[in-house]
């Protein structure tokens, strides 16, 4: 929150073609784009994203742009409904048993070629292996302090590729800028709340209390 900041020129991304609101979204969208690039998602593949927050939604959008048939799950039904209604994503909703049955139905019982975890929840990260198809790839975007373990027989039986993905590369940032500029990313739908910075002491606690209905909030300076 400085008036001026000095960084190496090589670290600067040109977002001059975007609005300020769009430019403020490039970083979190690039995290999702990077995960999709790491996994080498291709046309016709089946992808599941666990977690319908900003990173999960970004991942789902770019997996779709790369040709995958994308499903998304979350424990918060309001976020899934928003993802379906405003972002055109395909959530699986209901109890844990109902969700699993629906995901199995969508994949003819084979589950998913790519599973991306953006839940930030250790138990969800452990359970995510159950949704990986034989020869599939499990990508962990979430970063947690706890240890994560998987049952070795399941990991080997599925011949799983396990990938970690963090942050993004210049190529990912540039891809996001292009995608926004070409109208391929619904930035208006991603931005759910705005407020003046002077209101932050009151608005931030409100947003935390209503987090189920917040996708991306921005302060205006």
Domains of the chain are 16-190 (3.90.180.10)
Asked if pLDDT for residue 6 goes beyond 80, the answer is yes
pLDDT averaged over every residue in the chain? 95
How much is the pTM?
A: 0.94
pLDDT number for residue 9: 92
Contacts for 102-107 with beta carbons within 8 Å, 24 or more apart? 103/48, 103/71, 103/73, 103/131, 106/46, 106/69, 106/71, 107/46, 107/133
Alpha carbons 159 and 45: distance in angstroms, whole number: 17
Beta strands in the chain (DSSP E): 46-50, 69-73, 90-91, 112-117, 132-140, 161-164, 191-196, 216-220
Asked if pLDDT for residue 75 goes beyond 80, the answer is yes
**DSSP symbol at 136:** E
Band (2; pLDDT cuts 50, 70, 90): confident
Alpha carbons 40 and 221: distance in angstroms, whole number: 38
pLDDT number for residue 1: 73
What are the distances in angstroms from CA 193 to CA 28, 103, 190, 213, 216? Answer: 16, 31, 9, 10, 7
pLDDT number for residue 163: 97
């Amino acid at each position: 929150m400085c008036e001026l900041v000095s960084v190496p020129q090589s670290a600067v991304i040109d977002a001059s073609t975007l609005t300020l609101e769009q430019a403020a979204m490039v970083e979190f969208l690039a995290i999702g784009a990077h995960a999709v690039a790491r996994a080498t998602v291709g046309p016709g593949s089946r992808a599941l994203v666990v977690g319908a927050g900003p990173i999960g939604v970004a991942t789902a959008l770019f997996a779709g742009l790369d040709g995958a048939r994308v499903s998304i799950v979350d424990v918060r039904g309001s976020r899934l409904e928003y993802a379906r209604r405003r972002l055109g994503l395909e959530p699986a909703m209901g109890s844990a048993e109902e969700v699993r049955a629906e995901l199995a139905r969508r994949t003819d019982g084979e589950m998913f070629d790519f599973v991306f975890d953006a839940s930030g929840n250790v138990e969800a990260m452990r359970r995510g292996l159950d949704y990986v198809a034989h020869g599939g790839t499990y990508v962990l975007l979430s970063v947690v302090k706890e240890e994560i373990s998987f049952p070795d027989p399941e990991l080997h039986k599925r011949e799983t590729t396990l990938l970690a993905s963090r942050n993004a590369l210049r190529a990912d940032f540039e891809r996001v800028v292009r995608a926004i500029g070409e109208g391929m990313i619904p930035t208006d739908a991603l931005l759910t709340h705005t407020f003046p910075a002077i209101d932050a002491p009151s608005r931030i606690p409100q947003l935390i209390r209503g987090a189920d209905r917040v996708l991306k909030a921005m302060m205006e300076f």
